[in-house]
């Protein structure tokens, strides 16, 4: 049997991981859409459990960890981009950027224009055009006013594209000092930047998120995926902790960093390390996919369109339910609203995957359609 990691261009286990990541992000944002909050307010260093809107929110509290899906997406992206680079005998920077443009921008532009059309009724014309210009150039993550405008999920796409711009720098750094030292340098740089941000910027200031979730700070998370790709491509064991107790310990550290206010700036890199460890173990499995894994493959394939459209669509569904006068009990919203939103999103995302994403990737004939999943972010 062929090695599922090295022996084929299309790695279905990556589709499974993408499907899990996008489902986690979707449930996280659906919870915040229902309650208009995605975490409890702080009481000192810890969450104020008494401030929960109702008991249902406490039952659904584990969904607030769904943001981990974004960390997993960054690690997956670094893995896929670098693995594609390693598999090519020659590397053309022009072809790389053209491939990335056709893979990312057309589908993003369609979702952006839809969200901008909805936003014209909520913003002044000058603000809308300024927001639109920042989003069209994928620089909206540089400014507090545009960081979460139109669709909050768009911030990560800007960071992702900035990673692509920095890819030649990463390749040069890797060639000079090696992938392991490049990862260590990125990790040390990220920790120093996080420390500087925490010490110099008030956590309630609008610029705090802009700085903490910027490309230089998150570069370590992306390179972590590239490091895994190089280890797998060279068929060597990554220099990451292998003991079975490591993953539970990191899970504990992740929970603590999420629930303890002074440690929250560390939660994203901890989640990325956890994602890398899970990927490393999961991709070692040479067996056939189980039924539940196969169920996640289609979701993973259409995860990019799903990510682009999930927040605009879930917002529309919740507004329609409110205007229809349906009882706004959490369990009704989470059964009816969630089912309707998932059904609509699945149909829309599958259509866009086939008729927008695949069409634009085929048009410049950059990669074959069957290899698309290996190039997805």
Tens of pLDDT, residue by residue over 3-53, are 444 344 678 899 999 999 999 999 999 999 888 888 888 898 999 998 888
Note the pLDDT of residue 1: 35
* Residue 63 pLDDT level (bands cut at 50, 70, 90): very high
Q: What is the rounded end-to-end Cα distance, in angstroms, of the chain? A: 27
For residue 232, pLDDT over 60 is answered with: yes
pTM (2 decimals)?
A: 0.89
Average per-residue pLDDT in the chain? 86
Q: Which has the higher per-residue pLDDT, 221 or 242?
A: 221
Is the predicted pLDDT of residue 2 greater than 50, yes or no?
no
**Is the CB of residue 371 less than 8 Å from the CB of residue 103?**
no
Closest C-alpha among 61, 58, 70 to residue 24: 70
Instruction: Indicate whether 377 pLDDT > 80.
Output: no
- pLDDT of 233 reads 86
Q: Give the pLDDT score at 201.
A: 85
Of 202-206, 272-276, 369-373, where does mean pLDDT reach its minimum? 369-373
Answer whether residue 364 shows pLDDT above 70.
Answer: no
CA dist list (Å): 60 to 234, 286, 329, 331: 42, 35, 14, 10
Query: Cα–Cα distance between 281 and 252 in angstroms, integer?
Result: 19
Per-residue pLDDT tens over the stretch 247-258: 889 999 999 999
The predicted structure's pLDDT at residue 248: 87
Taking the C-alpha atoms of residue 110 and residue 341, their distance in angstroms, rounded to an integer, is 19
Of 305, 286, 295, which Cα lies nearest the Cα of 347? 305
Residue 194 has a pLDDT of 92
Residues pairing with 46 in the sheet: 43
Answer yes or no: is pLDDT of 122 > 60. no
What is the arithmetic mean of pLDDT over 276-300? 89
For the record, the structure tokens of 193 come out as: 């930047």
Radius of gyration of the chain (CA): 21
More confident residue, 325 or 73: 73
- Would you tell me how many other CB atoms lie within 10 Å of the CB of residue 347? 10
Predicted confidence at residue 267, as pLDDT, reads: 93
User: For the segment 292-351, what is each residue's pLDDT rounded down to a tens digit?
Assistant: 999 999 999 999 999 999 999 998 888 888 887 777 777 788 888 899 999 999 999 999
pLDDT score of 82? 93
pLDDT of residue 274: 93
What are the domain boundaries of the chain? 12-375
By percentage, how much of the chain surpasses pLDDT 90?
A: 53
Which pLDDT belongs to residue 288? 86
């Amino acid at each position: 049997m062929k090695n599922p990691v090295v022996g084929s261009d299309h790695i279905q286990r990556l589709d499974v991981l993408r499907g899990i990541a996008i489902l986690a992000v979707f449930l996280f944002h659906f919870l915040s859409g229902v309650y208009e909050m995605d975490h409890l307010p702080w009481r000192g260093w810890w969450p104020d459990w008494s401030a929960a809107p109702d008991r249902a929110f406490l039952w659904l509290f584990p969904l607030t960890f769904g943001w981990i899906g974004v960390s997993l997406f960054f690690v997956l992206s670094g893995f896929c981009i670098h693995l594609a680079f390693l598999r090519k005998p020659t590397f053309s920077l022009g072809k790389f950027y053209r491939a990335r443009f056709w893979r990312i921008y057309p589908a993003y532009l369609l979702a952006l224009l839809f969200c901008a059309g909805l936003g014209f009724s909520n913003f002044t014309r000058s603000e809308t055009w300024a927001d639109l210009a920042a989003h069209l150039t994928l620089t909206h993550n540089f400014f507090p006013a545009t960081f979460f405008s139109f669709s909050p999920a768009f911030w990560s796409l800007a960071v992702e594209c900035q990673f692509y711009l920095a890819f030649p720098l990463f390749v040069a750094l890797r060639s000079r000092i090696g992938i392991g030292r490049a990862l260590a340098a990125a990790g040390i740089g990220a920790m120093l930047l996080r420390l500087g941000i925490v010490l110099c910027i008030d956590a309630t200031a609008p610029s705090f998120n802009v700085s903490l979730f910027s490309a230089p700070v998150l570069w370590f998370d992306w390179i972590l995926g590239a490091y895994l790709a190089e280890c797998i491509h060279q068929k060597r064991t990554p220099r990451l902790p292998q003991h079975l107790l490591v993953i539970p310990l990191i899970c504990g550290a992740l929970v603590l960093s999420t629930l303890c206010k002074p440690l929250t700036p560390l939660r994203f890199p901890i989640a990325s390390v956890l994602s890398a460890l899970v990927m490393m173990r999961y991709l070692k499995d040479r067996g056939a996919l189980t039924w539940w894994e196969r169920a996640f493959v289609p979701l993973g394939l259409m995860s990019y369109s799903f990510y682009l459209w999930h927040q605009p669509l879930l917002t529309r569904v919740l507004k329609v339910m409110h205007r229809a006068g349906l009882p706004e009990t959490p369990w009704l919203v989470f059964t009816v609203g969630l089912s309707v939103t998932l059904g609509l999103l699945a149909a829309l995302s599958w259509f866009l995957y086939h008729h927008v994403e695949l069409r634009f990737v085929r048009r410049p004939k950059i990669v074959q359609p069957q290899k698309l999943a290996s190039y997805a972010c």
